[in-house]
A = this chain, B = another copy of it.
Amino acid sequence: MSAADLEKPVPEAADAPVRELSQTFRPVSAGMEAHLNVYHPVLDHGFIAVKDYMGDDLSILQMARMSYGKGTKGLNDDRALLRYLMRHFHTSPFEGCVIKLHVKLPIFVMRQWVRHRTASLNEYSARYSIMPDEFYMPDASQLAVQSKDNKQGRGDTLTPDDSAEVLRILKEEALRNFATYHHLLNADEDGQTIDEGRDGIARELARIGLPLSTYTQMYWQTNLHNLMHFLRLRADPHAQFEIRIFAEKILDIMADWVPVTTEAFRDYQLEASRLSRMDLALVKDMLAGKATLADAGSYGLSKREARELAERLGISA
């Protein structure tokens, strides 16, 4: 990166990446180099771009092997050792890999994202600068009624007519909010005064009427251990669609960065399943032919737990 790059406007997803090649003695992940400064579009105006990273699959192994010293006979196989670390929750070596992302996202998504505390972040400041006129409009395919089963989720999708009406309302409202924002600031998006005859109010005040759908930006940096925790929660079907789609993009990037780790992460965490003490007792007896799922209650499972266990085991309850 040269100083000149810094003066350029914030890049957009559509821009060609600013990429300058240098030499380094550091570990390099070829798959990740291909992502550097590439702005991947997410949602209608958002993006994700890798700005920097540290480490690769081999550097995770290097940390682990230092720790085990000469006591690691039988762990010469790289893939086997990485899977062993993942399976046994030996998390420290994964902390040795770090990723720094530039993300543009709606404020209501940002509010979920910042709940992950073990990360560094720097957000665009609406006290220093005027917020660009950009807000999130869901795709019609994402507009759905409240779920009946899931207190925090979506159910059936709206009819095309209802969707169109919802989007019309949301858009009209957001446009009016931004128009008011500029009127209160008495400044346009570029900071030019609109009406020389009157004062605008301070930026930190004018923004309080902007909607939660307004786009903001951040640099977000975390280590691979905490990234996997983020992905377990946010690439999960229970996560809100608008953050899940960011998480899924990051999971794709991770697969290019640390492919062996990502495979192990899927096998031992993302697609693994935890059986409670009661689940386990029931499954044991089912395998021994001593019980069926119908006995779940007497093993201490609630109806909901029995239903969820049946789903995980591919049994019709």
Contacts and interface: CB of A to CB of B under 8 A. Distances in A.
A154 B206 CA distance: 11
A54 B122 contact: no
A65 interface: yes
Contact of A10 (B66, B114, B288, B314): B66
A21 B23 contact: yes
A113 B83 CA distance: 26
Interface string A145-169: 1110001111100100010001001
Contacts of A121: 92
List the number of copies, as a whole number: 4
A280 B221 contact: no
A190 B71 CA distance: 10
A108 to B, nearest CB: 5
A285 to B, nearest CB: 9
Interface in A98-139: 98, 100, 102, 106-108, 110-111, 114-115, 117-118, 120-125, 127-130, 136, 138
A212 B291 CA distance: 52
A66 B102 contact: yes
The residue in A24, A123, A152, A158 that gathers the most chain B C-beta atoms within 10 A of its C-beta is A24
B202 A213 contact: no
Contacts of A80: 302
A98 B119 CA distance: 12
Interface in A260-317: 266-268, 271-280, 283-284, 286-288, 300, 302, 305, 312-315
A122 B63 contact: yes
Contact of A173 (B136, B177, B312): B177
Contact of A177 (B59, B67, B154, B177): B177
A64 interface: yes
A280 B269 CA distance: 12
A144 interface: yes
Nearest to A136: B208
The residue in A28, A69, A123, A280 that gathers the most chain B C-beta atoms within 10 A of its C-beta is A69
| Closest 9 A/B residue pairs (Cβ) | A69-B129, A71-B128, A95-B120, A127-B152, A71-B129, A25-B36, A271-B277, A208-B213, A22-B28
28 contacts: A1-B27, A6-B78, A10-B66, A25-B33, A26-B52, A67-B122, A67-B125, A67-B219, A68-B125, A71-B128, A71-B129, A71-B151, A95-B120, A96-B100, A98-B98, A108-B208, A127-B153, A146-B202, A147-B202, A152-B203, A154-B205, A166-B184, A176-B176, A210-B212, A267-B277, A267-B300, A268-B277, A272-B280
Given A66-B102, A267-B278, 13 more contacts: A21-B25, A51-B59, A55-B100, A63-B219, A66-B124, A67-B219, A92-B120, A108-B207, A108-B208, A111-B114, A138-B208, A176-B176, A283-B313
